[in-house]
A and B are shown apart, each in its own frame.
Chain A
Amino acid sequence: MTDEFKERLKRYHEGQLSADEEAEMERELDKFDVYQSFLDEQEEEDHTEINSQEVIRKGWFHQRFSIIATVLTILLLIIPLLGLSSKIYYVGKASDLVDLTTKTVYLTEPNVTVGEGQLDVNDHFFNMSFTMDLYKQVGGEKVRIGEWDVLYDLNRVDYPDYPNRNYVIENPPLDIPRPEEKKLYHPDEYAPSSGWDQLEQLPDGTVAEVYISFDQLYRESDIKELLGQMRTDWQWFAVNTGLEQNGKSVEGGYMTPIGYPSESNARDWSPREGIDDRGNSNEEQFLRVMKELEDYEQQATDIARTKWLDLKERNDYLDENGVEVYGAVITGPVEELLSLKERREIRNMKVGEVRLWNYK
C-alpha cells in the first residue's frame, strides 16, 4: 500500500475528495471486499480439509480395532468354552465311570479292593484320569499291592495304553492272563496238584492268602460255616456263570474268574460312600452290578485284565441258575489254613500272598 493511496484514503475518510475521486475510491474499496471474501473462503476450505483427514484417520483406527478385537475375542473364547463343555460333560458321568471301574476290579480281581478315601479324579479336554490304589487282605491287614492308572477318552477307556498297572508285590498278576496263573478251578474242570506242601513249608506265625476250589457248587450260605470259629476269614467268592467249566469264553479265549467280595461293608463296592448301600446281600448286589456292567461291557472289558467278560451270557445263566460259588479266597494264619487240608469240601488250594504275623 503506497503513501499516495494512504493519503487519498485519509482524505476520503475526512470527506475532502471531489465527487469523481470519491467514486473511484469506492470502486477500489469494493475490490478489497471481494479479495477479503476470497481469502476467508480459502481459509475455511483449508480448515475443512484438515478435519476430513482427521476423521478418516480415526475411522481407520476404529475399524482396525474392531476387527482385531472381534478376531481375538473369538480365538480366546475357544479354549475356555471347550474346557467348560468338557467339565459339563463329566458332571455326573465321572462318578459313573469311576464306579464302573472300581466295580469291575471288585468283580474280576479276587481279593482285591480299591483304597479307601476319595480318588483323585482329574479331567482335562474331554478326557479324565484317576489312580486307584489296590489292596489285598492278607491276614489281619490290608496290604497295598500296587496301583492302576485309568484314562477315559470321553466315556471310553484309552485302551490298550490304559489301565496302566503298576504292582509292588513279588509275583504280580499278568497284564494278559494266562492259564498258568490260574488258582481257582471249577468242580468239573481238571485241577493240577494243590499247594498244601508249599503252605506246610511256611514257618509258624506267618499269614497267607489262599485260593480254595470246592468239590462241588455251593450256595454262599451253605459253605460259610466251613471256617467255623477260626480267625481265618472269607474274602472273595468265585461264581459259576456257566463258562467256568470249560474255562473259556464264548470266543474261546482264556477267562479269569468272576465273583464278589465277601465283605459286607457296602462302601467296599465303591469309593463313594453309600453308592450301593441298599441293604442287599452281597449276592443280590453282585447280580445287580453284573447287570449294570452289561450296559458298559466294552468299558468293563477294557478295564479288566481278562479280555472276555461275556456278561450277557453270564447274566442269562445267573438269571436261570442263581448264584453258586465254586471257589473262594480266604486269608488267615497258616496253622489255621493247614487245618482245612482234610476238609472234603476243598478240592484244590493255591497259595497267594504271604506275610509275617500282622494280627493286632
Chain B
Amino acid sequence: MELQVKGGNTRQSETRFGMASIILALIFLVFLNALVLTERMILPGGLFMPLPGIGLLCGLIGLARFRKKFSYSVFGILLNGACYVILFLYFVASLSVYPVP
C-alpha cells in the first residue's frame, strides 16, 4: 500500500499537452515540406501558420504540470521553435536571393 502512495508522487507519465505539442509541430512540418517543394501555398497558410504557436503554448502548459514528466513538452517546444526559425530564415533568404534594388 505504501508503494502505491509513493508511486503516485513520482513523475511517471507524460502530459497530453506535450504530445499535442509534438503532433502540432509535425503537422506544421508537413505544410512546410509542401511549401518548400512547390514554392507556393498549396495548403492554406492561415490554417497552418498558427500551429507552432499553439504547439509552443501546449508545450509550456505541459511543462507547468510539475507532477508529470516533461520530455515530450521540451521536445515539442524545441520542435515548434525550430519550425518558426526555419520558416523565418526561409522567407528572409528568399527575399535576399535576388534583392530588388
Which A residues are within 8 Å of any B CB, using their own CB? 44, 51, 55, 58, 62, 65, 69, 72-73, 76-77, 79-84, 87-88, 90-92, 94-95, 98, 118-119, 121-124, 128, 272-274
In this complex, the interface size class of chain B, counting residues with CB under 8 Å from chain A, is 20 to 34
Q: Which B residues lie within 8 Å of A124 (CB)?
A: 39
What's the count of A-B pairs with C-beta under 8 Å? 72
Complex Cα distance, B93 from A94, in Å, reads: 12
Residue in A closest to B32 when the chains form the complex, CB atoms: A80
Residue in A closest to B37 when the chains form the complex, CB atoms: A79
Complex Cα distance, B1 from A76, in Å, reads: 46
Complex Cα distance, B92 from A84, in Å, reads: 10
Contact of B101 among A76, A90, A128, A272 (CB under 8 A): A272
A-B contact pairs, 20 of them (CB 8 A): A44-B1, A65-B19, A69-B26, A69-B75, A72-B29, A73-B26, A73-B29, A76-B29, A76-B33, A77-B29, A79-B32, A79-B37, A80-B32, A83-B36, A90-B98, A95-B99, A118-B100, A121-B98, A123-B98, A272-B101
Residue in B closest to A81 when the chains form the complex, CB atoms: B86
The yes or no answer to B51 lying at the interface (CB within 8 A) is: no
**From A87, A95, A98, residue with most partner B Cβ within 10 Å:** A87
Classify the secondary structure of A's interface with B: helix
Tell me whether A123 and B97 are in contact (CB under 8 A): yes
**From B25, B89, B96, residue with most partner A Cβ within 10 Å:** B96
A101 to chain B, nearest CB (A): 12
Residue in A closest to B93 when the chains form the complex, CB atoms: A87
Contacts beyond the supplied A51-B4, A76-B29, A83-B36: 18 A-B pairs with Cβ under 8 Å: A55-B12, A69-B26, A73-B29, A76-B26, A76-B30, A76-B32, A76-B33, A77-B29, A79-B36, A79-B37, A82-B36, A84-B86, A84-B89, A87-B97, A88-B89, A91-B93, A94-B97, A128-B97
B46 to chain A, nearest CB (A): 19
Tell me whether A122 and B39 are in contact (CB under 8 A): yes
The yes or no answer to B22 lying at the interface (CB within 8 A) is: yes
Q: Which A residues lie within 8 Å of B82 (CB)?
A: 77
**From B75, B97, B100, residue with most partner A Cβ within 10 Å:** B97
